[in-house]
């Protein structure tokens, strides 16, 4: 091996550009494209990767079109250690119907208006002014008012602010009527059981 290196033989890792159909720069571009598609929620399949590689080869100035082989995607995955394959899952029908740009734009408009409106002024997040406002928008406005009051108190310690914030939004769970009835029946059964034991 050292004798060949002294004679000018290129090592296997460095000679890949001459043996592979795509250069290292082209493969790096293909990886970036795959990362971008995955970030957008459109993870490419093997057929998409192969078509993209064929498109890169077709963009060259060669007269004869070159295409990658059937096993090229698997070999490309083996060369790239950070690529993983996972099964695709169908998206829920309710989520597909909810992906409406108009609904999303209205949601962000309400959030932006709630954040930039001074506390105490009439905003769309108030339940008395707009009954159809979503509940999470009202909660966002309420938490923002709590945060403003904490900062106005003068204590800027992050730990103290965090503790006071959690204390202010903490809610005591309300006891429902059904829960009270179950507890009452359980207490009556316990008293009846203890009475029978005492009689024995």
Q: What are phi and psi for residue 21, nearest 5 degrees?
A: -80, -30
Contact in structure between 108 and 102 (CB atoms under 8 Å): no
Q: What is the pLDDT of residue 139?
A: 63
Contact in structure between 56 and 30 (CB atoms under 8 Å): yes
Q: What is the pLDDT of residue 77?
A: 86
pTM for the predicted model, two decimal places: 0.42
Q: What is the pLDDT of residue 126?
A: 43
CA distance 116 to 129: 18
Domain identity same for 23 and 64: yes
Domain identity same for 109 and 71: no
CA distance 150 to 137: 20
Look at the chain and report how many structural domains it folds into: 2
For the segment 15-35, the average pLDDT, to the nearest whole number, is 78
Per-residue pLDDT band for 83 (boundaries 50, 70, 90) equals confident
- Residue appearing with tokens 């009475």: 195
pLDDT digits (tens, 9 = 90+) for 37-72: 888 777 888 888 899 888 888 887 665 667 888 888
Q: Which two tokens stand for residue 44?
A: 């490419």
Per-residue pLDDT band for 151 (boundaries 50, 70, 90) equals low
Domain identity same for 165 and 103: yes
Contacts of 151 (CB under 8 A, 6+ apart): 161
Domain that holds residue 138: 93-169
């Amino acid at each position: 091996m050292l004798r060949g290196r002294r004679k000018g033989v290129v090592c296997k890792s460095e000679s890949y550009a001459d043996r592979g159909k795509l250069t290292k720069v082209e493969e790096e571009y293909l990886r970036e494209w795959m990362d971008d598609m995955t970030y957008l929620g459109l993870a490419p399949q093997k057929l998409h990767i192969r078509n993209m590689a064929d498109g890169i080869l077709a963009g060259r100035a060669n007269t004869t079109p070159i295409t990658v082989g059937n096993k090229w995607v698997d070999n490309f995955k083996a060369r790239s250690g950070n690529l993983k394959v996972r099964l695709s899952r169908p998206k829920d029908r309710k989520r597909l119907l909810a992906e409406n740009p108009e609904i999303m734009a209205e949601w962000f408009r309400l959030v932006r208006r709630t954040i930039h409106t001074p506390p105490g002024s009439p905003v769309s997040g108030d339940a008395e002014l707009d009954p159809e406002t979503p509940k999470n928008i009202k909660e966002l406005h309420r938490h923002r008012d709590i945060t403003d009051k904490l900062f106005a108190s003068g204590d800027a310690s992050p730990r103290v602010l965090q503790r006071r914030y959690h204390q202010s939004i903490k809610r005591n769970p309300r006891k429902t009527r059904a829960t009270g009835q179950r507890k009452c029946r359980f207490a009556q059964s316990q008293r009846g059981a203890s009475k029978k034991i005492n009689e024995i």
